[in-house]
Amino acid sequence: MQANNHPIRRVVIAGGGTAGWMAAAALSRTMGKILDITLVESDEIGTVGVGEATIPSMITFHDLLQLNESEFMAATQATFKLGISFENWRNVGEDYIHSFGTTGTDHWTAGFQHFWLKARARRLAGDYGDYCRELKAAQMDRFAHLPDQGMNYAYHLDAGLYARYLRKFSEALGVRRVEGRIVQVGQDAQSGFIRSLTLDGGAQIEGDLFIDCSGFRSLLLGQTMGVEFEDWSHLLFCDSALAVQTGSTGVVPPYTRAIAHHAGWQWRIPLQHRVGNGLVYSSRYLDDEEARRMLLSNLAGEPLMEPRPIRFKPGQRRQTWRGNCVAIGLASGFLEPIESTSIHLIQRSLIRLLQMFPSAGICQTDIDEFNQQTAHEVAHIRDFIILHYHVTNRDDSPFWRACRELELPPSLRHRISHFRETGRVFRVPNELFAENSWVQVMLGQGIEPERYHQIADMMGDAELTQFLRNISGSVEAVVRQLPRHQDYLRRYCPAP
């Protein structure tokens, strides 16, 4: 497929939902004055809508859009999120929190974990989480904005309301929405580029650049452009989910709960008006009816709907941009929601597209760079997700035993071995998860480093004790002054 120097002026987004309307919002806010943007969606086609938990990078995306935070949160029934509580992952009855904050104070030669490891060996340290502001705030159900971005946070939100909010935002900036189901995709005979979408009512939508937000169907990139799917089912065993909403229980913790079971895990996402619940599982180890019974018997509130089944295949398209078609969201691939990365990957693809936007025409080197960056980013996230399953003490079911026996990608095998042997973590440039995230999860899942960096030996016991006490004392002092999360929501962004 050849490049094309035809100027890009007409952008067509195929599909709505979170991905489609995020694309429309980003393009219209940044380039709406020079682009003709059309979004095609059908009310007859539902959206997956499981992406109700986010990570802090969403704040950057909203800054790009210049959104008002309290207005957005009220409109989407949103709450604040300081991390994820992993329950029963290391072993049944053992929990830890992967928080969004930083832990302790690093030295330029070594991360804080090395000082903590020495102190713990000498029985001078508390829990690793005692030295992280966001983690302690999550444990105490407290939250407030702090000066100088002193609190790292994300959101829990209603994905359907979020798409509706962004639709209103985008249409005000000139995006045209067309109702209809796509029945045919027209291609140029010579270049293979997409030229038009034909809808069930007969309307034909022509464009220069097409953004595929058609979900798992991948109507444009997969079906039309023929980009193959790389299946990662041999690395990530979960391939099914059930989603159900329940009424509010009155408790709104500032974190997501991820509760492991014998063939997967269950999520609980607290919103202002309800709780999002779901069961993620492997169909190889749990049948659908048993999964339904398990989910319904482990709900904290009354179900507001019948559980909705979702089938997925973990993996990624071998390219996410081919010709004049870019896939965003589920159309490009899917990694299960354990670390709430789906919406992040949507916004990363959009920012990458805006940085390489082919205003003067399609350029193959841009396509190659886009695909390479995407592949590396997704692979690092995939490895981080596999870590949760593989490094565990659980052997109580065939599912967990299979996870422990998994043949790891070399990149992840090296990270685990390096941390176990040295306590060190080195972040790959531009990857999503920071060193502290890897440390929190590897410690939380049960990896015990064999040694620590000798820089920690520069402190004697008294100095090390005081060093740790100053950090934990500062954390405790700040968190104690924070209001209850639920009280802060009522004042800051009460939903109608």
In order, the DSSP letters of 298-345 are T-SS-BSSPPEEEE---EEES-SEETTEEE-GGGTEE--GGG--HHHH
250 pLDDT tier (thresholds 50, 70, 90): confident
* Sign of the C-alpha dihedral computed for residues 218, 223, 228 and 230 taken in this order: positive
Residue 182 has a pLDDT of 96
| Model confidence at 51: pLDDT above 90 | no
pLDDT cut 90: percent of the chain above it:
90
HSE value, Cβ hemisphere, 13 Å, CA-based, for 483: 12
- Considering 33, 81, 118, 136, which one is annotated as catalytic? 81
Q: DSSP assignment, residue 225? A: T
Q: What number is the average pLDDT over the span 182-204?
A: 95
**What single letter denotes the amino acid at residue 365?**
T
Total residues found in the chain within this entry: 496
Judge whether residue 27 has pLDDT over 70.
Answer: yes
CA dist 357 and 346 (Å) reads: 16
Q: How far apart are the first and last CA of the chain?
A: 51
**For residue 1, what pLDDT band results from cuts at 50, 70 and 90?**
low
- For 273: left if phi > 0, alpha if psi spans -120 to 50, otherwise beta; the answer is alpha
How many angstroms separate the CA atoms of 476 and 1, rounded? Answer: 59
**At residue 5, does pLDDT exceed 80?**
no
Burial environment of residue 263 by CB neighbours within 10 A (0 to 12, 13 to 18, 19 or more): buried
Read off the pLDDT of each residue in 126-146 and give the average, rounded to a whole number.
97
E strands, 216-290, in order: 229-231, 240-247, 256-261, 264-270, 274-281
81 a catalytic residue? yes
Mean pLDDT of 249-276: 94
Distance, in Å, from the CA atom of 453 to the CA atom of 270, rounded to the nearest integer, reads: 40
Is the entire prediction scored with pTM above 0.85? Answer: yes
Is the pLDDT at 243 greater than 80, yes or no?
yes
What is residue 45's predicted lDDT score, i.e. its pLDDT? 67
> Does the pLDDT value for residue 86 go beyond 70?
yes
- Which tens digits make up the pLDDT trace of 112-134? 999 999 999 999 999 999 999 99
Q: What is the pLDDT of residue 301?
A: 85
pLDDT tens for 351-370 read 999 999 998 999 999 999 99
Q: What share of the chain is helix, strand, coil (3-state, %, to 5)?
A: 40, 20, 40
The pLDDT of residue 49 is above 60: no
How confident is the model over 14-28, as a mean pLDDT? 97
Percent of the chain at pLDDT > 70 equals 98
The arrangement of strands across the sheet holding 315-317 comes to 229-231, 315-317, 333-334
Domains and CATH numbers, the chain: 10-52+158-232+314-362 (3.50.50.60), 100-146+384-481 (no CATH), 240-311 (no CATH)
pLDDT of 248 reads: 87
pLDDT at 24: 98
Per-residue pLDDT reduced to its tens digit, 149-177:
899 999 999 999 999 999 999 999 999 99
Over residues 218-224, the mean pLDDT reads 97
What span, in angstroms and rounded, lies between the C-alpha atoms of 366 and 359?
12
* d(C-alpha 276, C-alpha 265), whole Å: 14
How big is the CA angle at 40 (ends 35 and 42), to the nearest 5 degrees? 160
Using the 8-state DSSP alphabet, how is residue 362 labeled? B
Q: Which helix (H) or strand (E) holds 158?
A: none
Between 337-341, 394-398, 405-409, 443-447, the lowest mean confidence (pLDDT) is in 337-341
CA distances from 301 to 1, 79, 247, 289 (A): 53, 18, 5, 20
